[in-house]
Amino acid sequence: MVTVGDIYNYIDTFAPFHTAMGFDNVGLLVGGKHCPVTSVMVSLDITPEVISEAVSQKAELIISHHPVIFQPLKRLSPTDVPYLLVQNGLCAIAAHTNYDLACGGVNACLAERLQLKQISMLEEYEHSGLAASLIGQLETEMKSSEFAAYVKTQLECKGLKFTVGKTKVKKVAVACGAGSSSIFAAGAAGADAFVSGDSKHHELLAASSMGITMVDAGHFATEDIAIQPLCNRLSKEFPQVRFIKSQQKDPVQYLV
């Protein structure tokens, strides 16, 4: 019988939990490693809706990208997600920045989804030596607006915002989720475009002044693309366990 500990240990082989960034909270956050597992829900976040979905699928474990416990808890009420996990007998593992940085992790999935070639490290996370962001080449150069439309299609996002660069886009840097501060490293590396989420006003201004096409496709769209590959990887290692990608949707709506 496969246990939570078996799955935890396997994730640790390709996205070691000790490589997570210092601010992060990863690993087994709810439940015990001894618990047997036959079905697993895999999701970007753990929400009440994801828990209901996991219960309906008779899952014993939820693997999420974002930690269900991030800040210290001062109280716990029946509507809080950790409470609901315990109430429903669910364990929870978070693979967050350790999966972002991993070979084949979230940044790699983002670069692959954009079909970048000649991919290399843009920034190194000094504590682990792993890539905090990546840079690569498009097969064919595009205008800024064409590239933004291409990103929207490839990431299947409902909307995005972007700055118009001074050159056509060929060399592209990526940093998933809240990686928009990597715009400065992208500029220093001579990138024509940079794709991330959660961009700030002054980062967009910096991109504009550097002549870079900066595409903010949103936190969800730049990370959810790595959930199905994680499901596939786990299914291959544990064929006797069902791994189900959650139906979680981006909560953000766009009005133009």
Q: What's the average model confidence in pLDDT over 156-175?
A: 97
β-pairing verdict for 242-245 and 91-94: unpaired
Residues 6+ apart with CB under 8 A from 82: 29, 30, 68, 69, 73, 76, 92
Amino acid code (one letter) for 156: E
Position 256 confidence tier, pLDDT thresholds 50, 70, 90: confident
Same-domain check for residues 113 and 85:
no
Residue 148 belongs to some domain of the structure: yes
Residue 256 belongs to some domain of the structure: no
Same-domain check for residues 126 and 75:
no
pLDDT at res. 112 = 98
Residue from 163, 118, 157, 161 nearest 136 by CA: 118
Same-domain check for residues 89 and 128:
no
Position 149 confidence tier, pLDDT thresholds 50, 70, 90: very high
pLDDT digits (tens, 9 = 90+) for 34-55: 999 999 999 999 999 999 999 9
Residue 83 belongs to some domain of the structure: yes
Same-domain check for residues 68 and 152:
no
- Name the helix (H) or strand (E) containing 221: helix 219-223
Residue 136 and residue 42: Cα distance in Å, rounded? 28
Residue 253 belongs to some domain of the structure: no
Same-domain check for residues 21 and 108:
no
pLDDT at res. 69 = 97
β-pairing verdict for 39-43 and 242-245: parallel
Q: What's the average model confidence in pLDDT over 167-171?
A: 98
Residue 252 belongs to some domain of the structure: no
Q: State the total domains in the chain.
A: 2
pLDDT at res. 37 = 99
Question: Is the CB of residue 130 less than 8 Å from the CB of residue 101?
Answer: yes
Global pTM exceeds 0.85: yes
pLDDT at res. 215 = 99
Same-domain check for residues 48 and 107:
no
Q: Indicate the average pLDDT of the chain.
A: 97
Residue 227 and residue 234: Cα distance in Å, rounded? 11
Same-domain check for residues 54 and 115:
no
Same-domain check for residues 232 and 211:
no
3-state secondary structure of 166: coil
Same-domain check for residues 228 and 208:
no
Residue 77 and residue 98: Cα distance in Å, rounded? 29
pLDDT digits (tens, 9 = 90+) for 183-196: 999 999 999 999 99
Same-domain check for residues 213 and 107:
yes
Is residue 6 predicted with pLDDT exceeding 90?
A: yes
pLDDT digits (tens, 9 = 90+) for 81-134: 999 999 999 999 999 999 999 999 999 999 999 999 999 999 999 889 999 999
pLDDT at res. 126 = 87
Domain span holding position 230:
4-98+224-245
Residue 255 belongs to some domain of the structure: no
pLDDT at res. 255 = 87
Residue 175 belongs to some domain of the structure: yes
pLDDT at res. 127 = 86
pLDDT at res. 81 = 98
Residue 40 belongs to some domain of the structure: yes
Same-domain check for residues 107 and 94:
no
Same-domain check for residues 91 and 107:
no
> Residue 135: which CATH number?
3.40.1390.30
pLDDT digits (tens, 9 = 90+) for 222-237: 999 999 999 999 999 9
pLDDT at res. 161 = 97
pLDDT at res. 92 = 99
Residue from 92, 91, 97, 70 nearest 16 by CA: 97
